Amino acid sequence: MQMMSIASGSSGNCIYIGSEETHILIDAGIAAKRIESGLNDIGLKLEDIHALFVTHEHSDHIAGLGVLSRRHGIPVYTARETITELKKMKTLGAVPPEVYHDVQADEEVQVGDLTVHPFAISHDAARPLAYRVSCGEKSVGVVTDLGYYSDYIVENMKGMQAVLLESNHDINMLQTGPYPYYLKRRIMGDHGHLSNESAGRLLCEVLHDQMKYIMLGHLSKENNYDELAYETVRLEITMGDTPYQGSDFPIAVARRDTPSALLTI
Ligand SMILES: [Zn+2]
Ligand SMILES: [Zn+2]
């Protein structure tokens, strides 16, 4: 299995996951041209993509959806409630209704040799989902845009060999930063975004010897920066109640403007 972040951050998200024969995207929150160019870097084209799974209807997750579905005929999988929201959006252009396929939390979908397992997250959207994607014994996850994590989230993330996890903001930068009060409350709230500290603590609950790669993603442009997210998460792992040190796992920060390395597990 392989995974690559094509873009990750408050300005747009698109993650590639694939096996030898099946290729999918999680979210399409950047222009189709940028998605295509990211795929070209690993020898793929948009025509090779079998399905697009959408986490939720915020624009940083769907901006390229119109072109991908209309021009390239890529089927779109997401929650029924999210489809209802997407159909109301004029910015997407005319999307043929038959491209949409609804999925439900805790119900697996098979796409080629990939098994996609959606699970519910808490965020200010109609029916936000995170995804675990498995191929045989291997599995990876994309878990972003969640206000907090519960035992349910932890259970759904156990045993993954690679994960792209939200590490959205530094709490101090957010609190002292320029955002208006209501926005600070929204981001820190139960339906907002995961802080660096929370990401580190969540990782402590799901780390295991077979975890090969951790990618921190969906970083806020204003309230975080790469080194801070990286160091905070590493420290949480080292200080956490686990046998591990932060240095035991390769941790990368997914960039907003350039694709990550292609991870192979
Ligand atoms: Zn969102
Ligand atoms: Zn987002």
Residue range 87-117, pLDDT digits in tens: 999 989 889 999 999 999 999 999 999 999 9
CA of residue 255 to ligand 1 center, whole Å:
17
Q: What is the mean pLDDT of residues 13-23?
A: 98
Backbone angles phi, psi at 190, to 5 degrees: -65, -20
**pLDDT tens string 119-137:** 999 999 999 999 999 999 9
Q: Residue 93's pLDDT is what? A: 87
CA of residue 130 to ligand 1 center, whole Å:
11
- % the chain with pLDDT above 90: 98
- Angle formed at CA 173 by CA 221 and CA 127, multiple of 5 degrees: 60
pLDDT grade for 218, boundaries at 50, 70 and 90: very high
CA of residue 234 to ligand 2 center, whole Å:
23
Q: Which ligand is located closest to the Cα atom of residue 142?
A: 2
Q: Is the pLDDT of residue 74 over 90?
A: yes
Q: Which residues surround ligand 2, an ion (CB under 5 A)?
A: 60, 145
Q: Residue 117's pLDDT is what? A: 98
Compute the mean pLDDT over every residue in the chain, rounded to the nearest whole number: 97
- What CATH topology corresponds to 2-259? Metallo-beta-lactamase; Chain A (3.60.15)
Every domain of the chain and the residues it spans: 2-259
Q: Residue 83's pLDDT is what? A: 98
Q: Residue 61's pLDDT is what? A: 98
Q: Which ligand is located closest to the Cα atom of residue 144?
A: 2
CA of residue 65 to ligand 1 center, whole Å:
15
Instruction: Tell how strand 263-264 and strand 2-7 pair up.
Output: antiparallel
CA of residue 219 to ligand 2 center, whole Å:
9
